[in-house]
Amino acid sequence: MKKILLLLTMAFSFAGALRAQYLTHSFNANAANGERLYKSACVACHGNDGKGAPQTLSAFERPDTFPDFTRCDQTTSEVDAGYKAVITNGGPNRGFSPIMPAFGEALSSQEINDIVAYLRTFCRDPHWPRGELNLPRAIVTEKAYPEDEEVLYTAINAQGTPENETHIIHEQRFGMKNQLEIDVPFMAEVQNHTWYGGIGDATLGWKRVLYSNLNSGSILAAQGGLLLPLGSRRRGFGAGTTQFEPFVSFDQLFRSDTFIQLQAGGDVPFSTKTAANSFFFNSAVGQSVAANHGLGRLWSPMVEFLANREFEPGAKVAWDVLPQVQVTLSKRQHIRADLGVRVPFINTAGRDVQVVFYVLWDRADGGLTEGW
């Protein structure tokens, strides 16, 4: 336990040191110049107020995806690179309507940066967490940003007893800083030369962002969850008792698109005769790299370090390492996949190497069949 707390303290100290480095950088975007360019090139379609020119004055029928830049709930989750990709290469570049023309030859990269900076001023509430803080999702480590996502996650034993576990995860954002999470697992494994399957213990959780700051690249959230005893304890698919799972998540983004994610929490069973109290610490370090000068397909290699310890006499900390890579699949980057290998390396008894992967759909950016 002392070792885990020491590692947690060191990780937060390291993140704090890099955070200070983040603050020494500054963007050169000029929102005042962006306003001048917007009013000369964009108002005919998007209007002076950013809500869109009146439909009666438009020469086209406005698509459903036409933006209202004053809607903080719609715009703050988008990243600057997404806006820049659409302005530079046109709507179809990100799976949007072709009525949005490409300005990459008419405007310089700096001028487009200035326009994006001005577009950000239409949202008047600075407390909404910005989309840049919505870091690539690690396979295990929970991030701090509130999501509107559907995730299909699977882990398959690569050695030892044949076993697989699939989770269907629903994440629903509410307002500025809150998120509901529902996680339903399905288990299957060979026992006595026979395959058995069934539902596992489902999770019902509520997350709230406690702090976010784009200038420092930091976001902090807390979540409380209930693990409902739906799985068969006899088959090893569940704990046999309701458990309370609180945790905190801290994410740090740097100017180089390097990021660190930290999560620490525990599982507290209602009946300690059935299941033991436990503590976990998860961390992820990664780097995002985008094609086409930062405007194209996004690749995010990561490595997670995962620790868990039950509070029972003689229990030891179990450590796993999980290298992985996430990649965007759709043009709009709202469909993503991640593939990795989870390898136990400390206290490995009874734990096998697993191949793990997920596919996620960010509903906030469009339908499952849109944006390809």
Amino acid identity of residue 326, one-letter, is Q
Q: Which stretches of the chain are assigned E, i.e. beta strand?
A: 149-157, 163-174, 178-191, 194-199, 202-213, 218-228, 243-253, 258-269, 278-287, 289-290, 298-310, 318-328, 335-346, 354-362
Q: Is the pLDDT of residue 286 over 60?
A: yes
Three-state SS at 20: helix
State the DSSP code for 364: G
What's residue 221's pLDDT?
98
Q: Region of 292 please: left (phi>0), alpha (psi -120 to 50) or beta.
A: left
Helix (H) / strand (E) containing 5: helix 2-23
| pLDDT bucket at 314, cuts 50 / 70 / 90 | confident
Tens of pLDDT, residue by residue over 218-253, are 999 999 999 999 999 988 899 999 999 999 999 999
| Homologous superfamily of domain range 31-122 | Cytochrome c-like domain (1.10.760.10)
Q: Is domain 129-365 classified as CATH 2.40.160.40?
A: yes
Q: Could you tell me the pTM of the whole model?
A: 0.88
Q: What is the pLDDT of residues 261-270, one digit of tens each?
A: 999 999 999 9
Q: What is the DSSP string of 284-317?
A: EEEE-EEHHHHTS-EEEEEEEEEEEEE-STT---
Q: Give residue 4's pLDDT band: very low, low, confident or very high (50, 70, 90).
A: very low
Domain coordinates of the chain in residue numbers? 31-122, 129-365
Cα(264)–Cα(15) distance, rounded to whole angstroms? 15
The span from the CA of 43 to the CA of 315, in Å, is 65
Can 31-122 and 129-365 be said to share one CATH topology?
Answer: no
Q: Does the pLDDT value for residue 16 go beyond 60? A: no
pLDDT 10s digits, 143-192: 999 999 999 999 999 988 899 999 999 999 999 999 999 999 999 999 88
